[in-house]
A and B are shown apart, each in its own frame.
Chain A
């Protein structure tokens, strides 16, 4: 067992190195050894995939890397990231070496000979590296063709396949990180927030919060490992982190489209509470301009009336628990302000009037 774990770690290092310029020192023999190693570990994956104890031990060792604090770049892990990756570690290694310009010509030539032996026994293609690489190229061409010809971004963001895929990946990774260390997810997410473009990240977060409770594949894997508690918990850590970081939740509520936020608020009452709180806060920053006859803000970052109205309108189109909560909030704010019916005195009155006439 121990030797297996060592092998795992050492290969993980090799995999990490394969992306760096260090490979310029590799010759054909080194490449051969690396490929053999990958093949061996792939065999390990096949052999022990269903063996819960061994698999757990291997996973734990791989998850250790997530425990490390700091980390300069957004991607701390250059090596193997989870047990699943073992299943195609030879593919990962091959792709990295193929793309690495630092690899010498002789070593590269050898690599090509190993990876692409040419036409052989047709039936055995699927299992071979040659077959997998060709399949990957084919799939990428397929994605490109679909995107440029027939694909349209789904206006319902959480159902857009690109968003969904990213969301699924995020939750998957969070689960692994969470298994390694209880506070892992929080730190991991903070690191992502620091390094990735915010807009996409927020959209993916929303999509992740709106994914169905558990995909069938996960359920299957979990039942194999005897780990039933995972189902339905996947979004919890994400939600917890989101609500815990004020900077993030404010950006979340401010920048995402109204419809998307309504869906998220509908699914997660904790979010609806914070969202409503923010909306009321933003509303209070506006004052009535008597001359122009509209509500305006004083500072540039104030949320304008139109946007505020748009968001409330979307919320009022949500199904009952949320819709009622919103109306109750608006009415109580209106009451706090003095319960005026005349426009121009309380923004809450005006909002309610606009919503009623608009609806």
Chain B
């Protein structure tokens, strides 16, 4: 407790000074400065209240003799009163000063003063519109009756002024001066979370002046973004799109916020990831190539930093899926060429990858798979071609559409034991699990996989099929030595696919999963989801 109060005392000095400088926040500089400190000041007020509520009125004055000054100055700053819950916390602090039973004139005076200040907060700024007050009083209305309506009318009037600018074009007279628009965006900073202000926030975000530079105040974007991410404001996609296009840091924060949400949840099934993803509005916004590129870049960094963490991979795949859905929903004819979204990839490859497996009959899946495999093989193994990025770029592209690698695995396992597994599918699987391999290493992997497949095929037909031998088949290599780790991942994945797709595999599923203690690769998330759904 003692330590807290020491911290509080030093903060107290800091804030009293700040408030003295800000006064009523009537100049540009004081407004800007106030807006920067609003959240911290609110936090300080909360701490003050926690300290004050334990004391009685006299102790408060002993402990903080200048508390009156602090509170009075805060009450005169409209930005503070307008922000979030600050007005409420100020009222709480003032309540702590009221003495139930004043013993002397000093205490009575304090009471009187405090009551005056409370009145001021709740009946503030009356002198501003005296005529209106008189008139409404004459009608028998109290401010509580008409303030909501007045605010609504003011907001509507400002919104229509902002919107008019679009229609007027070159009519300079009726356009709102840029300084006024800027000033308006500054005023909105503490008020972004007030529901009455939503139309104004939207109108500001979608406002396009004639000036080449940004006319809105940067803190405004930050405040809107913060409120949007915490779900304290409801904005249509078009407004959010404008926000992110005009203010890059907001977009980056939005993506990071999404990452945090995905990483911090305990167990993320696909459906939940998809929910978070759609909620964030990022897939819809990404229909605009500039936004897509930024988000993509962030996924790329995340993958590189985490060395291909399965969570990031899964998130990216869900994002891409939602993005494609949004693209298709938006319009029949895409507004932007594919190349704007994937500038480093071959357009024909992208076209094939974009196809939805759901739209293709299962029997014909081998065709696009073969094409993808062939195209990738050509790009990756052709050393003379430097333009389409190295193996990582192409793997990155493929990773967006993770479904294809899964399908390749599925195809291999549904037909296990029947015929020779197609080289193209093997290549695709090997590439997707370790893109950095040289051609020889990859060939080796493909051989290993083939061996595992045939082993699994034999096991299927044998009467001694059990969880134990399945695992053994997956873990050991042909020669009996343990496989290289990348290969191990792949075989484990094959095993899981086997459990899902091979005839009789599902029966073994529970046993195998209980025996396995090591984590499964990322794409298995989608597979486990399918098991959960009972879909096929």
Is there an interface contact between A166 and B135, defined as CB atoms closer than 8 Å? yes
CB distance from A19 to the nearest CB of B (A): 10
We find that the number of chain B residues with CB closer than 8 angstroms to chain A is 65
Asked if A50 lies at the interface with its beta carbon under 8 angstroms from chain B, I say: no
Asked if A140 lies at the interface with its beta carbon under 8 angstroms from chain B, I say: yes
Is there an interface contact between A145 and B134, defined as CB atoms closer than 8 Å? no
Residues of A within 8 A of B191 (CB): 138, 142, 145
Tell me, in angstroms, the Cα distance from A204 to B135 when the chains sit together: 9
Residues of A within 8 A of B146 (CB): 165, 169
Asked if A308 lies at the interface with its beta carbon under 8 angstroms from chain B, I say: no
Is there an interface contact between B87 and A139, defined as CB atoms closer than 8 Å? no
CB distance from A170 to the nearest CB of B (A): 6
Is there an interface contact between A200 and B154, defined as CB atoms closer than 8 Å? no
**Most chain A CB within a 10 A radius of its CB, from B92, B139, B147, B187:** B139
Is there an interface contact between A130 and B88, defined as CB atoms closer than 8 Å? yes
Is there an interface contact between B135 and A143, defined as CB atoms closer than 8 Å? no
Asked if A116 lies at the interface with its beta carbon under 8 angstroms from chain B, I say: yes
Tell me, in angstroms, the Cα distance from A150 to B95 when the chains sit together: 33
Cβ-neighbour of B125 out of A74, A76, A143, A149 (below 8 A): A143
Residues of A within 8 A of B269 (CB): none
Tell me, in angstroms, the Cα distance from A134 to B187 when the chains sit together: 19
Asked if A98 lies at the interface with its beta carbon under 8 angstroms from chain B, I say: yes
Residues of B within 8 A of A159 (CB): 157
Asked if B26 lies at the interface with its beta carbon under 8 angstroms from chain A, I say: yes
Task: Give the residue name and chain of the B residue nearest to A160 (CB).
Answer: B157
Is there an interface contact between A101 and B122, defined as CB atoms closer than 8 Å? no
Asked if A151 lies at the interface with its beta carbon under 8 angstroms from chain B, I say: yes
Cβ-neighbour of B139 out of A105, A108, A137, A169 (below 8 A): A169
Tell me, in angstroms, the Cα distance from A76 to B49 when the chains sit together: 42
CB distance from A210 to the nearest CB of B (A): 14
Is there an interface contact between B87 and A141, defined as CB atoms closer than 8 Å? yes
Residues of B within 8 A of A85 (CB): 145
Asked if B516 lies at the interface with its beta carbon under 8 angstroms from chain A, I say: no
CB distance from A149 to the nearest CB of B (A): 5
Residues of A within 8 A of B156 (CB): 161
Asked if A146 lies at the interface with its beta carbon under 8 angstroms from chain B, I say: yes
Asked if B118 lies at the interface with its beta carbon under 8 angstroms from chain A, I say: yes
Is there an interface contact between A95 and B150, defined as CB atoms closer than 8 Å? no
Is there an interface contact between A137 and B144, defined as CB atoms closer than 8 Å? no
Given contacts A99-B123, A108-B115, A136-B122, contact A149 B186 (CB under 8 A): yes
Residues of A within 8 A of B157 (CB): 154, 159-161
Residues of B73-95 contacting chain A, CB below 8 A:
78-79, 81-82, 85, 87-88, 91-92, 95
Asked if B436 lies at the interface with its beta carbon under 8 angstroms from chain A, I say: no
Residues of B102-126 contacting chain A, CB below 8 A:
102, 108, 111-112, 115, 118-119, 121-125
Is there an interface contact between A168 and B142, defined as CB atoms closer than 8 Å? no
User: Which one, A191-199, A257-265, A292-300, is touching chain B?
Assistant: A191-199
Residues of B within 8 A of A91 (CB): 144
Residues of B within 8 A of A192 (CB): 138-139
Is there an interface contact between B124 and A144, defined as CB atoms closer than 8 Å? yes
CB distance from B112 to the nearest CB of A (A): 8
Residues of B within 8 A of A173 (CB): 139-141
Tell me, in angstroms, the Cα distance from A148 to B121 when the chains sit together: 17
Task: Report which B residues bind A (CB closer than 8 A).
Answer: 26, 49, 53, 78-79, 81-82, 85, 87-88, 91-92, 95, 98-102, 108, 111-112, 115, 118-119, 121-125, 128-129, 131-132, 134-151, 153-154, 156-158, 180, 183-184, 186-187, 191, 194, 196-197
Leading 9 A-B pairs by shortest Cβ distance = A161-B153, A150-B184, A141-B81, A141-B82, A134-B88, A74-B138, A109-B100, A144-B125, A77-B140
A-B contact pairs, 30 of them (CB 8 A): A75-B137, A75-B138, A75-B140, A92-B142, A95-B122, A95-B144, A105-B101, A106-B100, A109-B98, A118-B49, A134-B91, A139-B196, A140-B81, A140-B122, A141-B81, A141-B82, A149-B186, A150-B180, A152-B180, A161-B153, A161-B156, A162-B153, A162-B154, A165-B149, A165-B153, A169-B145, A169-B146, A195-B138, A196-B134, A204-B135
Task: Report which A residues bind B (CB closer than 8 A).
Answer: 74-77, 81, 85, 88, 91-92, 95, 98-99, 101, 105-106, 108-109, 112-113, 116, 118-119, 130, 133-134, 136-152, 154, 159-162, 164-166, 168-170, 173, 192, 195-197, 200-201, 204
